[in-house]
Structure 1
Amino acid sequence: MGTTDEPTDDPADSTHESEASTGESADSNGERREPHPILTDLRRAEGGSTRTRFTTGFSLSYRAFAFLKDRPGLWPYVVVPAAINATLFVVAVVLLALNAERAVGWVWSAPAVEAWYDWLFRLLWYLLLALAVALSVGVSYVLTLLVGGLIAGPFRDALSTRAERILLGTDDLPGDEGSFVVDTVTGVLSDLLVIAAYCAVMLPVVLLNLVPAVGSVVSTLLGSLVSAFFLAFEFSNDPLGRRGRGLRERFGLLRERRATAFGFGFGTTLMLWVPLLNFLTIPLAVVGGTALGIALDESAGGGAVPPVEPGPGNEDPPVEPGPAGEDPPVEPGPAGEDPASGGSSDDGDPAIERRPDDAGSG
């Protein structure tokens, strides 16, 4: 008796151990498991207020910390891109910063100190050099995001695929049968198109800085909105691409769910500006963006899971019988009795039903 119980428990235990160690939500029977709470909360927020959708989108990349921490099997897809980005950043900073003095010298040679007031020009030259060094760090950061994102594309796509299986609780993903080479090339081309579109939109925004007084303020605000939107587009790109959504359709889905999209974009932007944490931002945003892409596709009627799942707020249909199975509002009783009449012994006699009218006429 005891020996027959053990084999039935072992597969369940091995499933949990496999999910924790490999990061996959594998099920030997291929059955659907419960969706991850990140996706469940995101689905529920779609029916909420604008503030609820924004805050839920804002938290996606941060909730990915716990998601990845509990799944060591996904760590290589986090460590390798982070190492690539860190290496590229250090190399770019060193190359640009070491040549900053030479670049400033092309514009203005270091002034010689021959009189006391020459120190003022010397001080201005050093301030210009410090500005050039700071600019080189900023340029290195942008180059790291662009180049590192392209290099880490295959790792990002693999992480997105595995994260989607866990989020949905299923191994059956749309577009999962594609070729690795074709998917990689398609992903790189898509990233290049996104970068080109971003640069095309940001160019007039940057030129607003030339407008006196309010130009810088307007440029900063619009630049933040554009960057947040394109971050949401970039990291929701993989799951939407696997579902056959075109670029124009993806932009349309983000516009329709702009509160959630901007929340995710601003949350990811804030994470990018935190030192050291910014090297982990891409894999964290991949997990959050994958959940966002699934929710966007479901909102348009696609995906493997219906967009509205049974929950505490969706369980009552418009018309439903009461708990005690009461009769419909208008239905004759077995003897045609009227509660207001007190139920006399002559119930069921048509003459009695007309008695109030007769009394009124008399």
Structure 2
Amino acid sequence: MRFIQDTIRGFRLPFQGIEYLVQHRSLWKWAALPAGVNMVLFSAAFAILIAYIPTLYNLARFEPSATQQAWLWSTSLNVLSSTLGVLLILLSSAVLAVIFLLLSKIIAAPFLDVLAQQVEYLHGETQAATFSPGYLWRSFRVAIGAELKRTGFVIIVYIMLFLLGLIPILAPLTALAGTLFTILFLPLQYAGYTMDHRLMTFRQRRALIAQRPWLMFGFGVAAFLTIFVPLLNFVCLPILVVGGTLLMMEFKTDQPPAIGGMK
């Protein structure tokens, strides 16, 4: 069935980014700085999370009053508060990971833009990027501007979902909607550099989701999970950008892209 095939293809693409970087050492110099930025910021996020784990856990603690000392009631409250504490820690870690990943992408945007262009060059899609102060400055301005627009859109959607989530009856639905939005938008984030090179409008980018929803969903799930894989999450930025560039190759040819490239 096509949707199963597309989901599997999309899920494999971020991990093919690892294989692609291993085979093409010429890309390493462009991947090094984003990976370094990613590592520093994820380490900072991890340190912040560790520092606030006791506070987060205690926020969910319930202290039974003097009239609520029955063993069953007290035990039930302890189990509930412990569960909520763990969930709060997991939710906080997910939010921190996404925020610091977006920040990493903004800082490393010029190098990620060149990395995507070099992958396209290996497939005969564009000319090779040359490392020069002038080129890097132009790339910096364009990439940062595009990245800020993408990040701003994501933040606006998250704020809207957060406000809706304050309504108790809508909280479970907004949590599900937020996760689904993240999964479907991640492909547009990591394929965004290639889309910038093709001068695609935001409407055209959104149309890609409707065109191949299961391919995008598979990629988004893999990218989302990558953020939480120990060690891999520290260097996931260049891997996911290469995977996003390969995703656009898939759209163009309707065939899995050759990992070895054409050059």
TM superposition score normalised by structure 2: 0.73
Matches within 5 A, 1:47-126: 49-95=2-48, 97-98=50-51
Q: For 1:152, what is the secondary structure of its paired residue?
A: helix
Contact 1:100–1:129, Cα closer than 8 Å, also in 2: no
> Judging changes above 3 Å, is the alpha-carbon distance between structure 1 residues 66 and 208 closer, same or farther for their aligned structure 2 residues?
same
Equivalent residue for 1:210, pick from 147, 156, 167? 167
**2:205 aligned with 1:273, yes or no?**
no
> Judging changes above 3 Å, is the alpha-carbon distance between structure 1 residues 129 and 228 closer, same or farther for their aligned structure 2 residues?
closer
Aligned counterparts of 1:222 and 1:101: Cα–Cα separation in 2: 29
Aligned counterparts of 2:229 and 2:209: Cα–Cα separation in 1: 26
Letter in 2 for 1:59: R
Question: CA offsets, 1:263-289, max 9 Å, x none?
Answer: 211121122221211123221211111
Residue 233 of structure 1 corresponds to: 188
Question: CA offsets, 1:283-342, max 9 Å, x none?
Answer: 12111111222444x3xxxxxxxx479xxxxxxxxxxxxxxxxxxxxxxxxxxxxxxxxx
Contact 2:57–2:86, Cα closer than 8 Å, also in 1: no
Aligned counterparts of 1:60 and 1:99: Cα–Cα separation in 2: 35
Shift of 1:172: 3.7
Shift of 1:97: 4.3
Equivalent residue for 1:293, pick from 237, 245, 248? 248
Aligned counterparts of 2:54 and 2:11: Cα–Cα separation in 1: 41
Shift of 1:93: 3.6
Letter in 2 for 1:276: L
Rg comparison, structure with higher value = 1
Aligned counterparts of 1:265 and 1:258: Cα–Cα separation in 2: 10
Letter in 2 for 1:53: D
Residue 152 of structure 2 corresponds to: 196
Shift of 1:227: 0.6
Residue 216 of structure 2 corresponds to: 261
Contact 2:97–2:227, Cα closer than 8 Å, also in 1: no
Matches within 5 A, 1:37-48: none
If each structure's helix is expressed as a fraction of its own residues, which one has the higher value? 2
Shift of 1:134: 5.8
- Structure 2, unaligned stretches of length 5 or more? 64-68, 256-263
Letter in 2 for 1:150: I
Q: For 2:235, what is the secondary structure of its paired residue?
A: helix
Residue 224 of structure 1 corresponds to: 179
Letter in 2 for 1:148: S
Matches within 5 A, 1:245-260: 245-260=200-215
Aligned counterparts of 1:173 and 1:243: Cα–Cα separation in 2: 15
Shift of 1:145: 0.6
> Judging changes above 3 Å, is the alpha-carbon distance between structure 1 residues 275 and 200 closer, same or farther for their aligned structure 2 residues?
same
Aligned counterparts of 2:166 and 2:221: Cα–Cα separation in 1: 22
Residue 158 of structure 1 corresponds to: 114
> Judging changes above 3 Å, is the alpha-carbon distance between structure 1 residues 173 and 262 closer, same or farther for their aligned structure 2 residues?
farther
Letter in 2 for 1:84: V
Matches within 5 A, 1:319-338: none
Contact 1:209–1:219, Cα closer than 8 Å, also in 2: no
Shift of 1:87: 1.6
Aligned counterparts of 2:248 and 2:185: Cα–Cα separation in 1: 13
Letter in 1 for 2:168: V
Letter in 2 for 1:246: T
Residue 324 of structure 1 corresponds to: none
Question: CA offsets, 1:62-106, max 9 Å, x none?
Answer: 12222111222222333432222222222244346446768999x
Contact 1:237–1:293, Cα closer than 8 Å, also in 2: no
> Judging changes above 3 Å, is the alpha-carbon distance between structure 1 residues 75 and 52 closer, same or farther for their aligned structure 2 residues?
same
Equivalent residue for 2:105, pick from 145, 149, 161? 149
CA RMSD of aligned residues (A): 4.2
> Judging changes above 3 Å, is the alpha-carbon distance between structure 1 residues 202 and 136 closer, same or farther for their aligned structure 2 residues?
closer
Q: For 1:283, what is the secondary structure of its paired residue?
A: helix
